Structure 1
Amino acid sequence: MLDLDHHPEILRYTAFTRDPKGGNPAGVVLSADGLTDEQMQKIAADVGFSETAFLFAPVIEGGPHAVRYFSPLAEIGFCGHATIALAIAHADREGAGSLSLQTKVGLIPVETHHAGDGFTATLISVPPKVRDIGEEDLHEVLAAFRWAPDDLDPDLSPAIGNAGNDHPVLAAHTRERLRDLDYDFDRLGALMAARDWTTIQLVWKENEHSYHSRNPFPPGGVVEDPATGAAAAAFGGYLREVGLVTPPVEVDITQGVDMGRPSSLRLFIPDDRARGISVTGAAMPLR
């Protein structure tokens, strides 16, 4: 058990879904003031989800809330699905509105809105960056996935997108290739640890405005992440950078289907490259 003088309320939400059997679960602590790094790490390990978000009161009235994210193993700079979960958990208690979140990767504005019998939340990422993956790293990541070069979609070149964390982008040539995910966990994990990659953004293009995604996540100790907001934002930046969309535009990402936890993420990609990518989704408490 956690030995704390102050016992914070620990909430559990699943993000990018309205179905408790879908989405990506996250822990949420809405009152983290006074917690030490060691205590937050212990809470995240006890919760056991890929990330737990910890919200702190503003230092000055009207200022941003600091937020920190911990996986069961370590602190990370930014987590999209835990941000959506945190924002909707906050809205469930305080009502819809705006939150300004100071993360380790920069300031993240979030808006919550009423949607039917719940809320949706929209975060705006830091301005994304895209760079080449490098021939040697591409060869190694393909080998870890047991993919041949012709398994890739020739219209979507491999690259690394970053909207707070690094996410290599690989596009499968067919939906069947994306569905048949059987990779070398240890080999991919070693490469990702060496390069400080968070997840791999595997995608298949259904049409210009709709993609299917899978996100292998060995650094988190799991085979696959069912909904990845940070990777979605990075992918939005990638689509804009390589000219695969004509912004301003909305793009839908379906993730988690092949692992039995369907998730829906909607991107808004502005035409200004100095602006971040908006990521919208629902979330609901887990009882």
Structure 2
Amino acid sequence: MTEILRLAAFTDIPDGGNPAGVVLDATALDGSAMQTIAAEVGYSETAFLTRIGTDRTYDVRYFSPAAEVPFCGHATIATAVALAQRDGAGDLVLSTQAGPVAVRTQAEGEDVTATLTSVTPHVEPPLTDDEVAPALAALHWSADELDPQLAPRIAFAGARHLILAAGTRERLANLDYDFDALKTYMSERDLVTVDLVFRQDATTFHARNPFPVGGVVEDPATGAAAAAFGAYLRALELVAPPVRVTIYQGEDLGRPSLLLVDLDAGDGGIHVTGRAVRIPDQLA
């Protein structure tokens, strides 16, 4: 029988953060079986370790309830914490479809913190108003509700995310979008989530991530989008590295999450830090 662990990532409480399934030994499973398990688990992603090396290296695949995704940040954090709980803290490397992702875990008693370093990120050229308009229409947002200082862009740090910045916290809090229309828009552009953000101050942000292409209305914590957003901030010179950016997500869903994003100078990978805790059976 396949053992499926359940952890909440980017939180220190079981009913916070973003739940992830983790299968530490999926060597006997094919893609179809993984997709079936992910759908049964029902979380936004489940991670499957498909090859276990002798030097703390692993091949991993990520599945949402509806599709495989190239990279998932919160399931990476959950997987690293589960490995640290089983094998002890330290450094490891996860080979993803997007490329190798280094992860460092540190333990203080039973508490484990994990920091992933994304693949080399990039930010795509500016979008035209016509390119952004269908996304705004699906979200039921208008262009004058955006923050004019944070231009819409697509950023990548393992997966592609459209970044849209709300001008007010109230606009971000009021999320009632057209699921099918946004799914179509994203599928046509190979987007994994839409990263909706609000800037509280220079290095503090609130985020929400619709995820209709994965069969999920909204992610309560999205490490891959946090990494992509970090790349966006650095590329557009909206922060001055080295710097730590704090992202609060999941508050509007009742699953508060904390994502810490560290940006180095240059164009290297983005560091995303979070904790993860096991989800008791009664909450799973």
Shift of 1:14: 0.7
Q: Deviations over 1:64-120 (max 9, x none)?
A: 311111112221111000000000011111111111111000000001011464101
Do the aligned residues in 2 keep the contact of 1:133 with 1:168 (CA within 8 Å)?
no
Q: Give the SS at the match of 1:212.
A: strand
Shift of 1:15: 0.4
Task: Kindly report the root-mean-square deviation, in angstroms, between the aligned alpha carbons of the 2 structures.
Answer: 1.2
Shift of 1:137: 2.2
- Correspondence 1:27 to 2:12: no
Q: Select between 29-38 and 208-217 the one with higher mean Cα deviation.
A: 29-38
Q: Deviations over 1:168-210 (max 9, x none)?
A: 1111111111111121111111111111111111100011111
Distance 2:200 2:224 in 1: 21
Counting aligned pairs with the same residue, the percent is 54
Q: TM-score, normalised by structure 2?
A: 0.95
Do the aligned residues in 1 keep the contact of 2:66 with 2:213 (CA within 8 Å)?
no
Q: Give the SS at the match of 1:56.
A: strand
Partner residue in 1 for 2:50: 56
Shift of 1:218: 0.8
Distance 1:63 1:98 in 2: 7
Q: Select between 240-249 and 134-143 the one with higher mean Cα deviation.
A: 134-143
Q: TM-score, normalised by structure 1?
A: 0.94
- Correspondence 1:260 to 2:254: yes
1:189 corresponds, among 179, 183, 188, to 183
Distance 1:72 1:226 in 2: 15
Q: Which ranges of structure 2 fall in alignment gaps of 5 or more residues?
A: none
Do the aligned residues in 2 keep the contact of 1:88 with 1:112 (CA within 8 Å)?
yes
Partner residue in 2 for 1:162: 156
- Correspondence 1:123 to 2:124: no
Amino acid in structure 2 at the alignment position of 1:129: H
Do the aligned residues in 1 keep the contact of 2:47 with 2:63 (CA within 8 Å)?
yes
Q: Which ranges of structure 1 fall in alignment gaps of 5 or more residues?
A: 1-6
Change (3 A) 1:158 1:116: farther
Equivalences for 1:89-108 in 2 at 5 Å? 89-108=82-101
Amino acid in structure 2 at the alignment position of 1:95: G
Distance 1:205 1:12 in 2: 32
Q: Give the SS at the match of 2:103.
A: strand
Q: How many residues align?
A: 279
Distance 2:238 2:7 in 1: 33
Q: Deviations over 1:145-169 (max 9, x none)?
A: 1212110111111100111111011
Do the aligned residues in 1 keep the contact of 2:64 with 2:215 (CA within 8 Å)?
no
Change (3 A) 1:263 1:63: closer
Do the aligned residues in 1 keep the contact of 2:264 with 2:270 (CA within 8 Å)?
yes
Equivalences for 1:106-145 in 2 at 5 Å? 106-115=99-108, 117-131=110-124, 132-145=126-139
Amino acid in structure 2 at the alignment position of 1:202: L
Do the aligned residues in 2 keep the contact of 1:20 with 1:284 (CA within 8 Å)?
yes
Partner residue in 2 for 1:284: 277
Partner residue in 1 for 2:198: 204
Amino acid in structure 2 at the alignment position of 1:94: D
Distance 1:148 1:192 in 2: 18
Partner residue in 1 for 2:266: 272
Shift of 1:33: 1.3
Amino acid in structure 2 at the alignment position of 1:66: D
